[in-house]
Amino acid sequence: MRKLIYSLVVTTALLGGTILTGCQTPTQKVDNAKVTVQDAKQDLKDAQKDANAELQKIATAEEWKIFKSESEVKIKDNEIRIAELKVKIAKPGQIFDDIYANKINTLEQKNSDLRIKMDAYEKSQSDWEKFKQEFNHDMDELGQALKDLTVDNKK
């Protein structure tokens, strides 16, 4: 694909240069040739940028699929852990205060927000690296908060 684009750019530049230099003085021919060469170089740079951007989009799409599936698994695991904590609260004979229940509800909301954030990114897909870093940070914080909630500090 790149070779085809490069070939077309060079061929077009040479053909244009030949046509423009047919009825001109030698100095005009040199000036026109310089302009044509500069235009061809710029066209080549633009074609390279376009080709690189296309390759990056494809790699990002594959990377997004992997990232999304891994994140879905983590979110699902968090949902299971939150459900287990809710069952633990509901058991008779154990005393849990409202603060503990509120913490669980807050963590459940954060987990839900992560799912919403991931769906929103899928629609907009802007600034992949920043999103990935923030999402992983939020996911790690949520996982650590879930672990900290189940630790018994009374020992």
For the segment 50-92, what is each residue's pLDDT rounded down to a tens digit? 776 665 555 577 888 899 899 999 999 999 999 988 888 777 6
In a domain, 50, yes or no: yes
pTM: 0.58
Q: Is residue 116 assigned to a domain?
A: yes
With respect to residue 155, please indicate whether it lies within any of the assigned structural domains.
no
Q: What is the DSSP string of 76-126?
A: HHHHHHHHHHHHHHHSTT----HHHHHHHHHHHHHHHHHHHHHHHHHHH--
Q: Domain for residue 98, yes or no?
A: yes
Instruction: Determine, yes or no, domain membership for 82.
Output: yes
Q: Which domain holds residue 130?
A: 2-150
142 within some domain: yes
| 23-47 confidence digits (pLDDT tens) | 667 787 788 888 888 888 888 888 8
Specify the number of domains making up the chain.
1
Structure tokens at 64: 């997004």
Buried b (16+ CB within 10 A) or exposed e, 107-129: bbebbeebeebbeebeeeeeebe
